[in-house]
Amino acid sequence: MTTTHDPIEQLWRDLGRVDGDDTAAREALAAGMPIYYRERTTPPGLQVKEYPDGRRELVRFSRQGDDVIRTL
């Protein structure tokens, strides 16, 4: 059985291991840019996209643009 490796999913898993310092995320929001992150309950392959105004969406990231699964 061949297992496919999704580098984007691996990146999100690796980023999830970074603890503590949310300075870059706060700076991005303050600059008007959305941030992406995963929570413990975020389904595999999806991310939370948070906008500077506090809106949050559950999205599937792709090179063509985010696929919004639902508004949180």
Instruction: Look at 70 and 9; give whichever has higher pLDDT.
Output: 70
Residue 65, CA distances (Å) to 14, 22, 60 in order: 22, 24, 9
Domain map of the chain by residue range? 7-71
Kindly tell me if the per-residue pLDDT of 51 is higher than 90: yes
Instruction: Look at 39 and 2; give whichever has higher pLDDT.
Output: 39
pLDDT digits (tens, 9 = 90+) for 16-44: 555 567 888 888 899 999 999 999 899 99
* Pairing state between β 47-50 and 56-60: antiparallel
Q: Which two tokens stand for residue 23?
A: 């300075």
pTM: 0.69
Terminal-to-terminal C-alpha distance of the chain? 37
Give pLDDT, residue 19: 58
What average pLDDT does range 12-19 have in this prediction?
Answer: 58
How far apart are alpha carbons 59 and 7 in whole angstroms?
A: 17
Q: The sheet that has 56-60: what strands, in order across it?
A: 35-37, 47-50, 56-60, 67-71
